[in-house]
Structure 1
């Protein structure tokens, strides 16, 4: 299937790898942006966060980042200050963001990506941790 899908991906992250694999399981080869190597522009980042329905703070990653050391837990910081920090340290951008014609999601957990993919899954899908997400018919297991 040819639909335009973009994933802001970190190959070191299991959630990001699972999300990419689910997109591919739908028969889609997405545009993969390794955002740590090619960070989004300020405008792109603002748009992705807004389109996903998140606040700037909700789009930040704390675990495994300099979040605490930079004092980013300070509730008085403005969105502009948080965006500055994310652009200076892209590891602070939570992952993976996925953009499709059906919507934009921060795919945490990874199966949130299913909400914005067409129903074209090619069989079962099991995450790296062994959790089965799709059955043999490509239908979501709830």
Structure 2
């Protein structure tokens, strides 16, 4: 199963979906599209994504969105838990798209990053 955390208004997210669609015609894998602005991931979902992505929690966060500055999320003293809670409450903060396959995940910015899941 391939899962795409998707924002249909984002060109990079649409590009990643197209790339996955090209690949699945070869692999036959089912694809689940999660429009995360409508169906917000929980804190537990975000923690699972973070584990698959690796890196810092901040790598998952869009720092150019209004809630980022409004909530003071640039403060380096904030815990990962607080960051997860902020993204769960304000899903616009989640990087997009995130593509998950076989227990691994990548942020599809640029969309070509998704290729790593099929290598």
Question: So what's the TM-score if we normalise by structure 2?
Answer: 0.89
Aligned position for 1:75: 76
Larger radius of gyration: 1
* 4+ aligned runs moved over 4 Å, structure 1: none
RCO (CA 8 Å, sep 6+): is it higher in 1 or 2?
Answer: 2
Structure 1, unaligned runs of 5 or more = 119-142
- CA-atom RMSD, angstroms? 1.5
1:11 & 1:117 partners in 2: Cα distance?
Answer: 23
Aligned position for 1:66: 67
Aligned position for 1:57: 58
Cα contact 1:102–1:116 (8 A) shared by 2 = no
SS at match of 1:6: strand
Aligned position for 1:42: 43
Aligned residues: 115
Cα contact 1:23–1:117 (8 A) shared by 2 = no
2:16 & 2:30 partners in 1: Cα distance?
Answer: 12
Higher helix share: 2
